[in-house]
Structure 1
């Protein structure tokens, strides 16, 4: 994909992983259509000058995904599980697997099928706290999954009944924790209440070959000491239960850089987590796990959108709230943005715009404001960066829109959190001082 002497882009058609998958094995398996090679271009600018796409283009950069994988494998001392939901694209799974990520957090049968197809020999963990009996059955008996998460006694009973009370289970109790340090809190839906954790630990210990605890500090958690606070809290519950815990899974939430959401140096996070792990009253050979999704793939994709119409301070583009820009619209998430013009130079004077997506729904709007050249016009291309996580994975196909085309690039257009920085572990968090 990359040629010496320039940034080479291999242009491929994307077959939407779930929606376009052909059913095989009497409707039980997923078979993904092969991606078709088309053309090569030197830069994103060269691409848009020579190719007029009706669909938005996902500009994928596998080398940045490899860089993130290498960072976690080098700096995080425990096991790194990729949270497949962040981006289930086959090229992402293959890139991570080839980079040394061999364990995967899956939450559904289609995710299991994708990992089984594209990551041979990988270990999968069923980390969804609420699962159907059919999904548990297939996970255990068809995919060889032995790790299951629960957050209440009813879900534990379901797992035990469906696996015929198997003796080789790794059962992990998810604990509800505050997401105060996260830019996108996700607490409230999953997690055992703290008062019930010691009881559940004592209940499950004799029923599992290995026992673990997990939590999630929230998406884009900006403060590494959030993990330490939660781990110290769980230590008290382990002491209260009096049981041996074999696995401490600190979840995901590791941040990347977005406009106005610049995290502290990423090197802080594994240092603080390891320090907290060393203090925990765990079994002697206990394992430390993490489940990054966003942090592994966010930097690996940008989106090239086509300007269909400019009306005052409103720009109509061919992606939006029901496509790759779901988070930008519904969560008001900020992304870096720039204009690419096929011919000529745009104005240096900027103007505030809002974006409308391609559907007929008036909710298909991203308010911004986005500061772009004031002379932006039909036919221009807007590149929106850091969309590798919860981008293509969120496409709905509503109103006939949403499918993207993949282009593979070798450039590095946006700021990366994986630049070396210096961290002193004695530094203290600011927001945690108020708790």
Structure 2
């Protein structure tokens, strides 16, 4: 696979960033090791990055990653090894694990992700069964996948405080379901360990909480290697009590847009950047590219037509958007075959295990790429994200991938801190599945 190239050559800020990260590799790796002595690393994670050529930053972090099928097969052994470490740390006696996916029986690409995740865990030495939360599933459901793999979705049952499937009593529950619609009662108060924890789901989690934690991480890292934290950190604010249908709460969002645009313009002037700044308005929770728009002036919010308001008003599971994250937009100047691309980095435990480029032929450099029409190209790593090439340019593929891995791990650390901060958040409960 060809590696996407920057349509604009790296200019001074990011080229200097990559140089500093490469030169400080021993210091950085020591710093990360110290951080993991004080914080519990999430079980697994994926991070969406954007590389503008003058800024490299995470724009979203997913604690229930759904694209393991998009990873380069060459690096599956890394996944297996990292999975062994992750399970041993969280549940050392795990032998039987019940994997609970999203209720996406018709999304075959997502189900291929589940098949790959199941395979990785089996190769790591565990018995894995797939327990579905589909409310009308009362018999095992075999699913044939386009790549020739197959899955068996089994209805979950509960007895007392234990969850199980037919003839299978797991010691741990692995969620690949982000709980956007709330936490089903069947998952509440189990004696089995649940990974990730229930409060990591979108029923309780907020993106603004994550980026608040990332603010602190980015500042500490910037002090460590002597850079401007803005180079790796997007500005943001959050607004509550928003209703796009009724046009309520838009004053907060519009003011936030204009405030962040002002801050961006100041930074662009400082670094001599001529690009037009923009912000991303998106739901403060949830995934799948829903409830998100690119905007260049707060006044645009008052001119949205009904279709645009409807798009912003609801997200996955039909949930109404009430809280909005207003985030600095980071251009992507990476492209492959003349289509814009952004890297998505995958981690199991604290180990980077690969990633892929999200590619969209119908979107621009200042738009969200996680949208209908996207397709995936695996990151064609010649080496892992840990093996740099000191004889090559800072933006050579292995060096760029190492830098991506560093920034992704900063987001991973922010997720660990975020989960610690909000551990006591009350959990909303859904009706019994």
Give yes or no for TM over 0.5. no
The structure that has the greater radius of gyration is 1
- State the TM-score, normalized to the length of structure 2: 0.34
More helix by share: 2
